[in-house]
């Protein structure tokens, strides 16, 4: 039997957090490790739970997702981080990839319909 993929989310948008929680907890292939509204404790939380995948919003109040990605990757270089963004902003996506993200997902209104 294959172990479920563990997921941790950092996003300041409650609708996104709630929608993704519903999506991932409704599929046995995933284990939901939690959703957080900012990235202030992201490195500590990732270091405690060691998720398979971190979903990280690019724009959050306080520490940005890009800064947090850099911090996580510096401490945990093998951590998989996917960025979430509302706009297909080439500069921010480029900076996120440079910080260590493996890719990005553009958020859309349909994401909140789960």
Structural domain count, the chain: 1
Percent share of the chain, pLDDT over 90:
82
Query: What is the structure's pLDDT at 113?
Result: 46
Query: What is the structure's pLDDT at 114?
Result: 42
Gyration radius (Cα) of the chain, Å: 13
Q: CB of 70 within 8 A of CB of 42?
A: no
Tokens of 11: 């996003």
Residues of the chain with pLDDT under 50: 112-114
* Residues spanned by the domain of 44: 5-113
Count of residues making up the chain:
114
Q: What CATH number has the domain bearing residue 85? A: 3.40.50.2300
Angle between the 65-75 and 42-49 helix axes, to the nearest 10 degrees? Answer: 40
């Amino acid at each position: 039997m294959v172990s479920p993929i563990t997921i941790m989310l950092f996003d300041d948008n409650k609708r996104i957090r709630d929608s993704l929680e519903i999506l991932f907890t409704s599929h046995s292939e995933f284990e939901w490790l939690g959703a957080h509204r900012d990235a202030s404790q992201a490195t500590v939380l990732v270091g405690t739970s060691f998720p398979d995948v971190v979903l990280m919003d690019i724009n959050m109040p306080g520490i940005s997702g890009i800064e947090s990605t850099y911090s996580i990757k510096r401490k945990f270089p093998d951590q998989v981080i996917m960025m979430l963004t509302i706009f297909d902003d080439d500069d921010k996506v480029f900076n996120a990839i440079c910080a260590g993200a493996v890719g990005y997902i553009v958020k859309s209104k349909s994401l909140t319909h789960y």
